[in-house]
Amino acid sequence: MPPRHFSWSPDGTANLAGAPVAGLASAFGTPLYAYDEADLSERIETYARAFGAENVALAGKAFLTGRLLEIVQGAGLGLDVVSEGELDFALRLGFPPERIIMHGLYKPLSALRTAAREGVGHVVVESPGEVAELVEVARQEKRRVPVLLRLAPAVDVHTHPSLATGNPASQFGVPIEDGQALKTVRELVAAADAVDLQGYHMHVGSQIATLDPFVSGLHAVAEFARTAWAEMGVRPQVLDLGGGLGITDDAPSPGVLKEAYFSAVAEALHGIPMPRIMTEPGRYLVSPPGVTIYHIVQRKTAADGRTYLIVDGGMSDGPRPALYGARPEVAVSPRREGEERVDIAGMHCESGDIIRRDAKVTRAEVGDLLIVFDTGAYNHSMASHYNRVPVPPVVFVQDGVARPATRRDNLSDWLRLEVR
Ligand SMILES: Cc1ncc(COP(=O)(O)O)c(C=O)c1O
């Protein structure tokens, strides 16, 4: 899906948010991550309108830069972080701690300490063993930490196996069926001087295009909340239903998702006062507004006759095709007469570095630009230095004006990490 303000000029060259893509490429070099800022803001507003801005936390794992945090903060959203690095990054850039939801299968004691001291909005308990650690830190810091318990709702989600997190085999959350979740609630309640169990969390997976997995997960969570209420009088004040909304044309809108959640919660809780419903979208907010721009640097024919276009980046800046079999939409600029079928390979020494197999593009020449769409999520945040290829810069573009948000890293940055 191209960004909302992506267009083609009559001469066949591409524009992003009013700026010629060729101009962006020559000003900032390639590869380049470029975001349509107005599209991003509109997506944030759509989610905020549906759920209330204070109930939406951007999943920082999808994409996290200072400029993005400014936009998110300005729109009144929160932030979901999954590591000490994301937490410290957001706090250092002045993001309000009370709007942060802290996740993570591994939360170092130092991160729990920061969370308690700074007063983050919620710490999400992922594993039963975390309770004792959190309680100890909270008591040391003399802070009562607001907590959500992440449940493993055991729903089968039809997405790539690496994107399904709510299934029974998942390492995420605390299982309900075997009594582990109830036992964990008991422990949290027993330590009420240090932790304030405010509710439950689920995240069933990503790239979900139908309501069913969300609603099934929610039913499991709500049923559990009823049991904990009946057995221990724990009233769920918050249900955080994670992210995962897909961005295909047939996926429900945030408004439809909200309606489904609210009616399912009202039905499933049977008279327990309606809790605050929170969500943590990542991909929906930041993926479609972002594109990656490459130069086509070689064109060649393989021994089996297929045509390869080689670009000046690849799996180090866009790992999703190799990791999840993603097949991104691509376009060549300028657009010429005639079409061809090509395989597009990245520059890395790796057979798996294929950006797209069998792509239909307009006739391409070396020196043209390749635009890969929908790369705003899980690309910059997952970028690596594989083969010592620099991580591309990020620019935000609006009304024809490009604002750099991060620079390309370079040899000096890497050499600074060397210990001799
Ligand atoms: C706990 C949690 N919340 C939110 C998200 C965001 O998911 P998505 O980008 O699919 O919306 C993820 C992604 O894996 C997650 O693990």
* Pocket, ligand 1, Cβ cutoff 6 A: 59, 61-62, 80, 103, 165, 203, 206, 242-245, 280-284, 377
Average pLDDT over residues 85-107: 98
**Which atom of ligand 1 is nearest the CA belonging to 163?**
14
Mean per-residue pLDDT over the chain, rounded: 95
Tell which one of 51, 64, 68, 80 to mutate to probe ligand 1, the residue whose CB is within 8 A of the most ligand atoms. Answer: 80
- Neighbour-count burial for 233-256, b at 16+ CB within 10 Å, e otherwise: ebebebbbbbbbbbbeeebbebee
pLDDT band at residue 163 under the 50/70/90 scheme: low
Look at ligand 1, atom 12, and give the residue with the nearest C-alpha: 243
Tell which one of 165, 203, 240 to mutate to probe ligand 1, the residue whose CB is within 8 A of the most ligand atoms. Answer: 203
Tell which one of 47, 280, 320, 382 to mutate to probe ligand 1, the residue whose CB is within 8 A of the most ligand atoms. Answer: 280
| Spacing, Cα 177 to ligand 1 middle (Å) | 23
User: What is the model's pLDDT at position 155?
Assistant: 82
User: What is the model's pLDDT at position 170?
Assistant: 85
Domains and CATH numbers, the chain: 6-36+290-416 (2.40.37.10), 57-280 (3.20.20.10)
269, pLDDT greater than 90: no
**Which atom of ligand 1 is nearest the CA belonging to 244?**
10
Percent above pLDDT 70 for the chain: 98
User: What is the model's pLDDT at position 160?
Assistant: 66
User: What is the model's pLDDT at position 159?
Assistant: 64
| Spacing, Cα 59 to ligand 1 middle (Å) | 6
Average pLDDT over residues 406-419: 97
Can you tell me which residue has the tokens 């010429």?
336
Tens of pLDDT, residues 164-189: 666 778 899 999 999 999 999 999 99
pLDDT band at residue 69 under the 50/70/90 scheme: very high
246, pLDDT greater than 90: yes
Look at ligand 1, atom 4, and give the residue with the nearest C-alpha: 243
User: What is the model's pLDDT at position 73?
Assistant: 98
**Which atom of ligand 1 is nearest the CA belonging to 287?**
9
Average pLDDT over residues 149-175: 79
**What is the pTM assigned to this prediction?**
0.95
106, pLDDT greater than 80: yes
| Spacing, Cα 378 to ligand 1 middle (Å) | 10
88, pLDDT greater than 90: yes
Question: Among 42-51, 155-164, 323-332, whose mean pLDDT is lowest?
Answer: 155-164
| Spacing, Cα 281 to ligand 1 middle (Å) | 6
Residues annotated catalytic, as ranges: 349
Average pLDDT over residues 18-38: 98
Look at ligand 1, atom 5, and give the residue with the nearest C-alpha: 243
384, pLDDT greater than 70: yes
| Spacing, Cα 119 to ligand 1 middle (Å) | 23
| Spacing, Cα 164 to ligand 1 middle (Å) | 10
User: What is the model's pLDDT at position 251?
Assistant: 92
pLDDT band at residue 377 under the 50/70/90 scheme: very high
User: What is the model's pLDDT at position 162?
Assistant: 64
With a CB cutoff of 8 Å and minimum separation 6, the contacts of 309 are 296, 298, 299, 342, 343, 344, 345, 361, 364, 370
